[in-house]
Structure 1
Amino acid sequence: MSSGTKQSRSTSSVNRAGLAGGIVVALGVCAVLPIDPAAPARTAVVAVLVAALIVAAAVLRSPAALRTAAFVGPLFGCFAVGILADWPPALTTVLVCVLPLACLLLVGRWAGVAPAAPWLARGRLTPEAPWLGLATVLFGGVALVAWALAVRPEPAEYLRDLQRLPLWLAILGIVGFALVNPVWEEMLFRGVLLSELATVWGARAAVLLQAVLFGAAHHAGFPSGTVGMVMAGTWGLALGVLRLRSGGILVPYLVHVTANAVIGTVAVLILR
């Protein structure tokens, strides 16, 4: 084989990796775009884009892009239908925690796409994991208190609903939300996006990009705006490191649950 042929094949592999990574990132962007019931046309445009990206992944025949498409497509569909049809939030949340993973595992039965979800593992508790997790939770809690006291934001509707309940019942509701919501977030960001980007662009780029997308997804969260995006992105970076070090999503999931419980409790107490 001539050196020119080898170089051509190498260039082709690099181009395919670049295209595959671009599809994965684009699908990640579509997954974090907010769905506004007052703007169904915008959601329809994003749905067309998601469909086009799924077709592109199939044409490219990239396992990383196909696995991402198999997860993000149903995820976006569940959110879009649930929000636009005004389904109960609990029903939508259950669907996004179950259906995307089921579709990914089904697609992963094809030899060309397997393994479907190697990240779906307990992993191991590394020596630095407890300290990094504790630092993440404490930093997030302190930063949140400082932000809430400085800005005094208007509580979101679900927080106002919780504030009407007795404190113990409100905290119970927060814990329930903290246990469920991180399921789909960890599967998307530390599972699918981090793993698939790592296969095409390397672990460092993958950790950084999933953190950026995680931050963007929290633009309208608590805290919100640019500050909220930066805080959530920093948090996502730490969770990404925990995911790589532990080898599974259990450790980042547990840290995510703890941080969400702390954030929700602080929000209810401060914004009363």
Structure 2
Amino acid sequence: MIPLVLMAGFLGAGKTRFLTTVIPLLIERGVRVRVVLNDFENARIDAARLGELDALVTPLNGECICCGSLRELLDTLHAVPPDPGSVMLIEANGATETDELLGYLTTDVTLTHFTLPLQLTVIDAGRWQRRWWNNRLEVAQTTTATHVYLNWTDTLSSDRRGAVQQRVAAVNARAAFTTPVTFADTLQSLVESMRDTERRAPQGFAPAHRHAHGHTHPFGSVALPLPQLVERARFMAFVEALPQAVVRAKGLVRFVDQPAEMFVWNRVPGRKKMQLDASSPHAEAVATALFIGVGMSLDDLESRIAALV
């Protein structure tokens, strides 16, 4: 069987960054890695960050895999051939509700070549439960976790980190706090223990037709093209000035001073600086801005981008 891992966490918690750390660790341990990336508009943005890693990456654009993109996810998993010695990592987008998704992954009788799913929730420790109306979703994503990784702790005081760890443990006392190294060890051990087991016993019956389960969340999204080249300082100012309605913004960008290089950019409210990471873009990669938020104005976003030219 193939170990199955659902990676959850609120927008900007650092799920893809965790992947870029844990994948090389798994490969060093002789584990082959498959990844499914789910994003609102353009999962290829994050796939570009994994381009240099020796992992088989499948991007799923569109809605959350807990509802609108569920069928595509299940079809993708069903098509994976038996592959002892490998692991399947699913990175859900930040608005995913994990409880019913885990139910489908557990009970779908076409997925018995996978283990019952583990769930790793990545938590931005600096912003834990400081998300206003989104606090409930952050707690829900933590409640169903088997493992928790506290991210962005380097700037926190020991008191704040300890307080967050206590509060997370109060939400889910069963979850194990982990790190990329210890999680890679956990998966390596699971891969070895499952190597000679072909299938698990079904846990339930797959319905003949699956429909969105009816939950709603307040997020909307839009992907817009950026100019082919932008001035670095002007782009930094553009990102810093995005309206509060934008909960998360990221994409691909090229700068006038480094026209041959493409960068993945990330902006998360509550952090002082935009995050830039060098990427190895796929052949179809273009400069892009992906905005996720509540009550965003498309006209406003388009006019802000037009001002970059």
Q: TM-score range by the shorter chain?
A: under 0.3
Taking structure 1 as the reference length, what is the TM-score of the superposition?
A: 0.26
Which protein has the bigger strand share?
Answer: 2
Instruction: Write 1 or 2 for the structure with the bigger share of helix.
Output: 1
